[in-house]
Amino acid sequence: MTAINPLDVLMERVADRAAELVLERLGTRPADAPLVLTVERAAALIDKTPVAVRKMIQRGQLRCVRDGRRVRIPRVEIDRYLERLGA
């Protein structure tokens, strides 16, 4: 069993809340929109394959949150990526 680092859990909660507050102030997030996305869901939103999204993470083009082996992408990162594309 993998030990859970309490600091990682706290940082994830802080990041989620910060993202939520920013998006609420910008008025761009529906109330039921998830704050973090799976690689597959993020890929679907930006019309890429999950493999391409993982490569973007490796290259530093998208930031992610890791929870053990699970990788999640903050919705705000997807929004930033789309803004850079001019979408």
Please report whether residue 35 resides in a domain: yes
Asked whether the beta carbons of 39 and 49 are under 8 A apart, the reply is no
Please report whether residue 70 resides in a domain: yes
Give CA–CA dist 60/67, Å, rounded.
18
51 token code pair: 């493999």
pTM for the structure as a whole: 0.61
Please report whether residue 1 resides in a domain: no
Tens digits of residue pLDDT in 39-62 = 999 999 999 999 999 999 999 999
Number of independent structural domains in the chain: 1
pLDDT value of residue 85: 85
What range does the domain containing 44 cover? 7-85
SS3 37: strand
Number of other residues whose CB lies within 10 A of the CB of residue 34: 12
What tens-digit pLDDT sequence spans the chain (87 residues)? 567 778 877 888 888 777 777 766 666 555 567 889 999 999 999 999 999 999 999 999 999 999 888 999 999 999 899 898 885
Please report whether residue 67 resides in a domain: yes
